[in-house]
Amino acid sequence: MPITDTSRAAQAVQLNIHRSMSGEQRLLLAYEMSMFARELNRARLLREHPEWTEASIARELLRLAFLPAPLPAGLR
């Protein structure tokens, strides 16, 4: 069973909302959530590595999205 901090009542409300949404609305919601998570990661990287260039930030965001393990030394 997954660990959650959401009550069963809140989960039921959320499920009903999602079920009432069209496929397009659900896809847009997923996109917006993904972009929000990306912006949170970007803000974290800027805070942790103020010396990094925009290209370095972009590269790390791609790595986090597609290859969560650290890059091999030759690809850094």
Tens-digit pLDDT profile for residues 31-74: 999 999 999 999 999 999 999 999 999 999 998 888 877 767 77
Q: How far apart are CA 22 and CA 73, in angstroms?
A: 45
Q: Give the pLDDT of residue 36.
A: 97
Could you read off the pLDDT of 1-32 as tens digits, one per residue? 678 889 999 999 999 999 999 999 999 999 99
Q: Give the pLDDT of residue 11.
A: 94
pTM above 0.95, yes or no: no
Contact 45, 57 (CB under 8 A): yes
Q: Give the pLDDT of residue 52.
A: 96
> In 7-53, which ranges are continuous DSSP H helix?
8-20, 23-48
